[in-house]
Structure 1
Amino acid sequence: MNNTAKNIHFIAIGGSIMHNLAIALHKKGYNISGSDDEIFEPSLSKLSKYGLLPQKEGWEPDKIHQGLDAVILGMHARKDNPELLRAREMGIKIYSFPDYLYEQSLDKQRIVIAGSHGKTTITSIIIHVLKFFNRKFDFAVGAQLEGFETMVELSDDAPVIIIEGDEYLSSPIDDSPKFLKYHHHIGLISGVAWDHINVFPSEEKYVRQFDKFADATPKGGTLVYCEEDPLATVIGSKERPDVLNVTYKTHPFTIENGTTFLTNGNDSIPIRLFGKHNLQNINGAREVLKKIGISDDQFYEAIQNFEGASKRLEYVYENESTAIIKDYAHAPSKVRATTLAVKEQYPERDLVACLELHTFSSLNKDFLKQYNGTMKYANVGVIYYNPQTLEHKRLEPITPNDIKKGFGDEHLNVFDDASEMVAFLKKQEWDEKNLLLMSSGTFNNLDFEKLKDTLK
């Protein structure tokens, strides 16, 4: 991209990745403006810190003018957004987030991490290891990481960029999957499990997007995939001329007193992550890093102090007999893997697993059957959903019986009131028992600190 093009306006600047891109471009010296009809934390404080917070909420077509070099359109905006309509009328270049990120990385080696699960963690591990050894790199990742202020970093001199590649839509006016926009040199597929029913109404259509991603690997490029995931293996093992295929599987490990150790020959390396998926993620990241000059010895040195990505099996509280853990899990494969991971890490403890149904897919009555058996590793299963979320997403109402039938478990404790769910949790005896909270939402703004104090 021509670096003289420095006047950029963000429509829906408050988005989780959008505000991070705005800050990254601000740090590069670009003049940034933006609008949004609602901005929450942490976006609000971060934008305010850099003087990028809009003075008022709402859409302001007057912010669109001929002095702009580009408009970046976020997913939160609608097709009839007044600022978008004005930009189109004026002929101003409109980018989606992935389009603009690609333009910013034309001269870099692009590594894109894709998959229905694990992509945030794999991307985060790669970023952590590169930083540990003071390598120059740019990145875009979907979760906050320890030691990084923002989730996007762009520079003029970094030779490589690490991108978490999402299969979701690029923008309200572009239904291409984001990960196809980045034109990777090295691509990774962690696993494929149907999600986003609102965009991909059948499993076949969903899987096809990952097939396209793999086919986009250029000659001389590398495709890395998990050989323990059936669909990733079908896609990854296809013959593609002059493309190097690299497979990985669960890293050998042991668990001792609630700590997971990687087994490397005669060495046991303690790590802070746990669960089979994370042990796959570790090996996936290791294979990618080998392709850009990080040796196994270096990897094992750096991985020991990786704290994990925010909200990915993140400890809220822990003592000698109880742990409270929160996770971003929401899709069926993630729920199953996350509950199993906590149960295997603490086999001697009972597990109370709470899942919030918050996404379009999880609240869709026709999709609920995909969750059949996903809570089977929990001793006590709890499901929460907010009827207002159903109304907001314009979905057909669901009942506790619908949920129990979909999950295949008549013993589930189903709540549509968060306070009633918390009251149920307070009644539990928490000695030698763990609490797992899974959601891409907030459990209706549940105060985790207060919950932690209540359950001690």
Structure 2
Amino acid sequence: MRIHFIAIGGSAMHNLAIALHKKGYQVTGSDDAIFEPSQSRLDKYGLLPAKMGWDEARISSDLDAVILGMHALTDNPELLKAQEMGIKIYSYPEYIYEQTKDKLRVVIGGSHGKTTITSMILHVLNYYKKDFDYLVGAQLAGFDTMVKITNEAPLIVIEGDEYLASPIDRRPKFHLYKANLAVISGIAWDHINVFKTYADYTLQFELFIDTIVPGGKLVYCSADKDLEKIVKESKADVQKIGYEIPDHVVKNGISYLLPDETPLKVFGDHNLMNINAAKLICSELGIDYKQFDIAIGSFTGAAKRLELLRNSDETSVYKDFAHSPSKLKATVDAVKAQFPNRKLVACIELHTFSSLNKDFLVQYADTMATADTAIVYIDEKTFQHKRLEPFSKEDVQMAFKRADLLFFDNSERLKEYFYRVNFYRTNLLLMSSGNFGGVDLVNLARELNTVEQGI
């Protein structure tokens, strides 16, 4: 099989390219720019394009298929040539289904927790040496790539994103996988550049339920009342299994699953609910609850999800991918609840198109209410790049409903602030899908002042 990737540098795209290369396919690709870690990974497998840019000469009649990434435009010369020649063009979720239509497909959907639930399932399956394929949205410890596709594995676990499949296929990705077992972790409005209203966004999850194979099973968070209503009203021929927070206790900053008091390396109500979703799916895959609890005790979390940068008796510094309102609130509340005797300084970088939209900003109301100090950072260049109207400090304070909220649009001034604060008996939570203007967060965490006053 000869496969060509248009926009091969994307996170999922380059991992799928590597997976097909490992499967023995002849893979080529193109892109106008490729960044790390995609560049090094493609280079390692001899898949890095010799030069950047688009060239219709790369499209020839001996190609079996073209896989089109979301980064490409509809007037891409390679895409136009493939269309003219009648070559089969897939989005990457379409091609994942094409490769796995004879397997059991487990699809994890939801506005938040998708990566973590998928990662938990993969961790437990790996712990018991099960044979499985996968597609996940983060690099996981013990896994070489984020996509694995083989002929032999009887099942695949897929993180099901609700964003669009490709520039020429405007369906959400998770509609294309046709799950046998599915999860919906919760619904909170996102991607407002595509789904203009909350009703339009929730409709995608209603339609997702309809894509589950008849007789399949849906595991869903029954604590989400909007989701509960959607599931109850669905006429799809699926078994519906609700979940909430499992029984647990917290001792000295560590959460324990009951009844056996299994110590966990992750914490927070949102992660505990993620554990219950993963447990229900794993039970469908032949791993009983006791076996699951044993395995999940060694799960350290997905990359950039409450990643511990510094830890001492009196101070912890976490980095997290949280950026949407629901993720932000869940993460802030989790850290505060886990360490009730410490103050919490929480800092969010607003970076995505949705979060920088003034009409959407009000969705962040009260999301940082439990933080002792709330900080919002926006790189001053971001508005220019995205051609959006900048926010003022007053805009942000009003939207978050915190008059004492601190606002920074310069990374150096943000760093200076952190260096002035004494973090003794205080945790720092840094949240972003960006990079805080290039700040070295590991070095920042290491250099913070944590000395007790008067010593």
Normalised TM-score (structure 2): 0.97
Equivalent position of 1:26 in the other structure: 21
Equivalent position of 1:349 in the other structure: 342
Q: CA deviation at 1:56?
A: 2.1
Task: Please give the alpha-carbon distance, in whole angstroms, between the structure 1 residues aligned to 2:44 and 2:70.
Answer: 23
1:25-424 aligned within 5 A? 25-240=20-235, 242-264=237-259, 267-424=260-417
Q: Which amino acid aligns with 2:256?
A: F
1:265-303 residue CA offsets vs partner (Å, 9 max, x unmatched): xx1000111000000000001011111111111101110
Q: CA deviation at 1:388?
A: 2.4
SS in structure 1 of the partner of residue 437 of structure 2:
coil
Task: Please give the alpha-carbon distance, in whole angstroms, between the structure 1 residues aligned to 2:236 and 2:379.
Answer: 49
SS in structure 2 of the partner of residue 32 of structure 1:
strand
SS in structure 1 of the partner of residue 241 of structure 2:
strand
Structure 1 pair 189/391, CA: closer, same or farther in 2 (3 Å)? same
Q: CA deviation at 1:60?
A: 2.3
Task: Please give the alpha-carbon distance, in whole angstroms, between the structure 2 residues aligned to 1:203 and 1:289.
Answer: 32
Structure 1 pair 244/271, CA: closer, same or farther in 2 (3 Å)? same
SS in structure 2 of the partner of residue 255 of structure 1:
strand
Q: Which amino acid aligns with 1:288?
A: I
Q: CA deviation at 1:453?
A: 2.5
Percent identity for Structure 1 against Structure 2: 53
Q: Which one is further off, 18-27 or 237-246?
A: 237-246
CA contact (8 A) 2:209 2:236 kept: no
CA contact (8 A) 1:353 1:382 kept: yes
Q: CA deviation at 1:239?
A: 5.0
Q: Which amino acid aligns with 1:398?
A: F
Structure 1 pair 378/92, CA: closer, same or farther in 2 (3 Å)? same
Task: Please give the alpha-carbon distance, in whole angstroms, between the structure 2 residues aligned to 1:18 and 1:401.
Answer: 40
Q: CA deviation at 1:45?
A: 1.2
Q: CA deviation at 1:87?
A: 1.6
CA contact (8 A) 2:310 2:446 kept: no
Q: CA deviation at 1:258?
A: 1.3
Task: Please give the alpha-carbon distance, in whole angstroms, between the structure 1 residues aligned to 2:185 and 2:196.
Answer: 22
SS in structure 2 of the partner of residue 449 of structure 1:
helix
CA contact (8 A) 2:108 2:118 kept: yes
Task: Please give the alpha-carbon distance, in whole angstroms, between the structure 2 residues aligned to 1:338 and 1:401.
Answer: 24
1:106-151 residue CA offsets vs partner (Å, 9 max, x unmatched): 1001110000001111111111111111111110000111100101
Task: Please give the alpha-carbon distance, in whole angstroms, between the structure 2 residues aligned to 1:405 and 1:173.
Answer: 39
Task: Please give the alpha-carbon distance, in whole angstroms, between the structure 2 residues aligned to 1:431 and 1:370.
Answer: 32
Task: Please give the alpha-carbon distance, in whole angstroms, between the structure 1 residues aligned to 2:428 and 2:38.
Answer: 28
CA contact (8 A) 1:8 1:32 kept: yes
Task: Please give the alpha-carbon distance, in whole angstroms, between the structure 1 residues aligned to 2:236 and 2:176.
Answer: 21
CA contact (8 A) 1:12 1:37 kept: yes
1:345-372 residue CA offsets vs partner (Å, 9 max, x unmatched): 1111111111010111000011000000
Q: Which amino acid aligns with 1:231?
A: D
Structure 1 pair 297/87, CA: closer, same or farther in 2 (3 Å)? same
Equivalent position of 2:453 in the other structure: none
Task: Please give the alpha-carbon distance, in whole angstroms, between the structure 1 residues aligned to 2:172 and 2:199.
Answer: 15
CA contact (8 A) 2:215 2:239 kept: yes
Task: Please give the alpha-carbon distance, in whole angstroms, between the structure 1 residues aligned to 2:20 and 2:391.
Answer: 43
Task: Please give the alpha-carbon distance, in whole angstroms, between the structure 1 residues aligned to 2:94 and 2:224.
Answer: 29
Task: Please give the alpha-carbon distance, in whole angstroms, between the structure 2 residues aligned to 1:373 and 1:202.
Answer: 21
CA contact (8 A) 1:224 1:236 kept: no
SS in structure 1 of the partner of residue 261 of structure 2:
strand
SS in structure 2 of the partner of residue 423 of structure 1:
helix
Q: Which one is further off, 366-375 or 314-323?
A: 314-323
Q: CA deviation at 1:387?
A: 3.1
Q: Which amino acid aligns with 1:21?
A: L
Q: CA deviation at 1:392?
A: 2.3
CA contact (8 A) 1:214 1:235 kept: no
Equivalent position of 1:3 in the other structure: none
Normalised TM-score (structure 1): 0.96
Q: Which amino acid aligns with 2:33?
A: E
1:48-83 residue CA offsets vs partner (Å, 9 max, x unmatched): 111111122222222122121111111111222222
Task: Please give the alpha-carbon distance, in whole angstroms, between the structure 2 residues aligned to 1:351 and 1:447.
Answer: 20
Task: Please give the alpha-carbon distance, in whole angstroms, between the structure 2 residues aligned to 1:169 and 1:242.
Answer: 25
Q: Which amino acid aligns with 1:17?
A: A
Q: CA deviation at 1:398?
A: 2.1
Q: Which amino acid aligns with 1:195?
A: D
CA contact (8 A) 1:351 1:434 kept: yes
Q: CA deviation at 1:241?
A: 5.6
Q: CA deviation at 1:38?
A: 1.7
1:396-431 residue CA offsets vs partner (Å, 9 max, x unmatched): 232222111111112111111111111111111011
SS in structure 2 of the partner of residue 366 of structure 1:
helix
